[in-house]
Amino acid sequence: MCGITGYIGTGDCSTIVAQSLKNLEYRGYDSAGVALRNGSLEVYKQSGTIDDLTVPSMPSATCGIGHTRWSTHGAPTDENAHPHTDCTGQVAVVHNGIINNYEMFKNELCADHEFTSETDTEVIAHLIENALADTNDLREAVEQVVSMLKGSFAFAVTAVGHDGIVAARQDSPLVIGHSEDATFLGSDVTAFVEHTRTVTFLEDGDIAHLLEGDVTIVNGDKLVDRERQTIEWDADAAEKGGYEHYMRKEIHEQPRAVRQALSGRVDELAGTVDLDLSLSQEYCNSLDEIQIIACGTSYYAGLYAAELLEQYADVRVSVHIASEYEFRGDRDPWRTLVVAVTQSGETADTLRALRKAAGAGTRTLAVTNTVGSTIAREVDDTVYIRSGPEIGVAATKTFASQITTLTLVTIYLGRQRNALSSTEASNILEKLTAVPSAIQQVLDTESTVRRIAEEFADGDAFFFIGRRLGHPVALEGALKLKEISYDHAEGFPSGELKHGPLALVTDETPVVAILTEGTNADETLHNVKEVESRGAPTIGVTSATDPNPVFDTTLTVPKVGLMEPVVANVYLQLFAYHIAKRKGRSIDKPRNLAKSVTVE
């Protein structure tokens, strides 16, 4: 995830800004840069690591902004690195998030502004240049520009001839640090935690003017007074936003991750999605089959998507564990689309399967989190899931983002193939846009889930059951638990219990059942009774309004239609996390596992 930093004060500005970039390194990035202001503006930026970036000592500089970039618009190149400047080189901008309507502005501005990058950020610099010609007040210019932009973002600007830094927050975090002789800015407190622990968290819609030892914040047309807080976290905890583990932080980032996946891509009323795909209507209609290839959690996201694609895009779908994939010679490569689902974009098994398919002449599409990854570079089309970097080895937020993105792909194909009416598409989009707040409701019950996890932690083994869309979530729930707690956990389609696994069920084997929309809950309920009569403790994860008393414990899922199992999965993530924590496991780096599996 990109990181913003800023400093204004009497200290050694260039060293402080350069160090703050190092502090933000943990967020993941592929390029970095700073802009330092003395009388003029000096910009240093480049792709690669912060160690590759030379920021010269500049004792005359009193104000600076910096950035670590995780690519979303445009490859990780020197030109696309932030800060971005206007035509005069007097305005510098660093930015996180996505500007949905940047193309419209870029098209308009192109006539008399020269663009030097492929980023959405650069339009902000040019728009501020224009606004400054009107107002000559940096804060007012930023206010004007913010009112024109659509999307979820945070940015910071400094400009020659204007004091301080102006920062704007819209859906993407920003925090200000206060010390006696300086003011700091960061995407999180890690940016400056060694200098001050007195902070102000900005809220959505805030525009802050940072001066040395002074800050003014406006929201809309009101001056606002945000409370200063004292952070007790040490630098390690600060990197994790105060969470003890990246995994828990990333579980809690899911509402934002899902919002980012949807941002600027959906027209809920019209029932359409825009994914910038080059798949023509004729091609979509000619498709006989979609083959999804993936591993682990991404494979389960693929299983989920398969049911949606078959139902709403009316196309046959097969889902393959990438290491088992053989492109079948009896399929017509021209009528088959191969979709690689991969967080990292580097998984060797997925890459090999993809190359096999591409070698047979098949069209390929990647659904990935990683701009510039090998898989993103090798496919015909890519749709990014926009989760931001996931640092915990166990995938969490990317599962939710993958399913969200694959649902958008489903709607795109369904509309192209005339298999989905605009009304049906609108209904699905309405449910999708409700997912972030539904996930938040689940996250708000974390203390209850922790208590339940601690109660069941000593089970001999754990079984997760579900049907249809509940099945991939049962598999994912079991995978999460086994990965980080090292307990034996298995996921099954509920109907399979009686064909073997039931022999393992005792009063020491908790069974977690997914019973939401899209999971044939009534049928799973019969299976729950089967395990209960063998003494197994049961946990029902359900959206039923009158939960069946059959369960020992019930966790309630907000109603969001076919997305309910994704929301149910958040309970399973928290359940796994708290069991692993109780057992003192190495949660972010489980034994024997790697985040990016680049060997076959």
Catalytic residue numbers, as ranges = 2, 595
* Distance separating alpha carbons of residues 527 and 496, to the nearest angstrom: 9
Q: Least separation, in Å, of the C-beta of 78 and ligand F6R? A: 27
**Which residues in 324-363 contact ligand F6R (CB under 6 A)?**
342-344, 347, 350
DSSP state of 580: H
Q: Least separation, in Å, of the C-beta of 208 and ligand F6R? A: 37
Of 62-70, 127-135, 296-304, 518-526, the window that binds ligand F6R (rule: CB under 6 A) is 296-304
* Distance separating alpha carbons of residues 482 and 477, to the nearest angstrom: 9
Of 9-17, 289-297, 306-314, 416-424, the window that binds ligand F6R (rule: CB under 6 A) is 289-297
Q: Which residue has the tokens 């390194």?
A: 25
Q: Which residue has the tokens 């206010």?
A: 143
Position among 55, 159, 295, 489 found at the interface with ligand F6R (CB under 6 A): 295
Query: Which of 429, 456, 409 shows the shortest CA–CA distance to 571?
Result: 456
Q: Which residue has the tokens 């990014």?
A: 384
Q: Is the CB of 37 or the CB of 480 nearer to ligand F6R?
A: 480
Instruction: Count residues near ligand F6R (CB under 6 A).
Output: 14
Query: Taking the mean position of all CA atoms in its chain, how far away is CA 247?
Result: 13
Q: Is the CB of 293 or the CB of 428 nearer to ligand F6R?
A: 293
Q: Assess whether the previous peptide bond of 565 is cis (omega < 30° from 0).
A: no
Q: Least separation, in Å, of the C-beta of 346 and ligand F6R? A: 7
Q: Are 112 and 155 in contact (CB under 8 A)?
A: no
What secondary structure does DSSP assign to 230-263, as a single string? E----HHHHHTTT-SSHHHHHHHTHHHHHHHHHT
- String marking each residue 385-424 x if it binds ligand F6R according to CB under 6 A: ---------xx-----------------------------
User: Residue 322 is which amino acid?
Assistant: A
**Which residues in 506-545 contact ligand F6R (CB under 6 A)?**
none
Of 153-161, 294-302, 427-435, 447-455, the window that binds ligand F6R (rule: CB under 6 A) is 294-302
Of 265-273, 291-299, 405-413, 505-513, the window that binds ligand F6R (rule: CB under 6 A) is 291-299
Position among 23, 96, 298, 524 found at the interface with ligand F6R (CB under 6 A): 298
* Distance separating alpha carbons of residues 261 and 388, to the nearest angstrom: 10
Of 164-172, 284-292, 295-303, 543-551, the window that binds ligand F6R (rule: CB under 6 A) is 295-303
- String marking each residue 422-461 x if it binds ligand F6R according to CB under 6 A: ----------------------------------------
Q: If binding is defined by CB under 6 A, does position 296 make contact with ligand F6R? A: yes
Please compute, for residue 261, the number of CA atoms within 13 A of its CA located in the half-sphere on the CB side.
Answer: 31
**Cβ neighbourhood burial of 418 (10 Å; 0-12, 13-18, 19+):** exposed
Q: Least separation, in Å, of the C-beta of 9 and ligand F6R? A: 41
Q: Is the CB of 343 or the CB of 538 nearer to ligand F6R?
A: 343
DSSP state of 171: B
Coil, helix or strand for 268? coil
| Phi–psi pair at 490, nearest 5 degrees | -135, 145
Q: Least separation, in Å, of the C-beta of 264 and ligand F6R? A: 24
Q: Least separation, in Å, of the C-beta of 25 and ligand F6R? A: 21
Helices (H), 289-396: 296-312, 348-359, 374-378
Q: Is the CB of 235 or the CB of 593 nearer to ligand F6R?
A: 593
Of 95-103, 290-298, 486-494, 556-564, the window that binds ligand F6R (rule: CB under 6 A) is 290-298
Q: Is the CB of 224 or the CB of 597 nearer to ligand F6R?
A: 597
Q: Is the CB of 187 or the CB of 368 nearer to ligand F6R?
A: 368
- String marking each residue 463-492 x if it binds ligand F6R according to CB under 6 A: ----------------x---x---------
Cβ-proximal residue to ligand F6R, closest one:
296
Q: Are 43 and 83 in contact (CB under 8 A)?
A: yes
Q: Least separation, in Å, of the C-beta of 562 and ligand F6R? A: 22
**Cβ neighbourhood burial of 582 (10 Å; 0-12, 13-18, 19+):** middle
Q: What are the C-alpha distances in Å from 537 to residues 82, 470, 576?
A: 54, 19, 17
Q: Least separation, in Å, of the C-beta of 135 and ligand F6R? A: 47
Q: Is the CB of 308 or the CB of 395 nearer to ligand F6R?
A: 395
Q: Is the CB of 263 or the CB of 402 nearer to ligand F6R?
A: 402
* Distance separating alpha carbons of residues 251 and 215, to the nearest angstrom: 33
Q: What are the C-alpha distances in Å from 431 to residues 260, 354, 403, 470, 562?
A: 16, 32, 13, 17, 8
User: Residue 452 is which amino acid?
Assistant: I
Q: Least separation, in Å, of the C-beta of 397 and ligand F6R? A: 11
Q: Least separation, in Å, of the C-beta of 295 and ligand F6R? A: 4
Q: Least separation, in Å, of the C-beta of 339 and ligand F6R? A: 13
Q: Is the CB of 23 or the CB of 297 nearer to ligand F6R?
A: 297
**Cβ neighbourhood burial of 244 (10 Å; 0-12, 13-18, 19+):** middle
* Distance separating alpha carbons of residues 216 and 164, to the nearest angstrom: 11
Position among 5, 85, 172, 297 found at the interface with ligand F6R (CB under 6 A): 297
Instruction: Compute the C-alpha angle 464/466/468, nearest 5°.
Output: 145
**Cβ neighbourhood burial of 444 (10 Å; 0-12, 13-18, 19+):** exposed
- String marking each residue 581-600 x if it binds ligand F6R according to CB under 6 A: ----------------x---
Coil, helix or strand for 469? coil
- String marking each residue 263-282 x if it binds ligand F6R according to CB under 6 A: --------------------
* Distance separating alpha carbons of residues 443 and 301, to the nearest angstrom: 21
What residues make contact with ligand F6R under the rule CB under 6 A? 295-298, 342-344, 347, 350, 394-395, 479, 483, 597
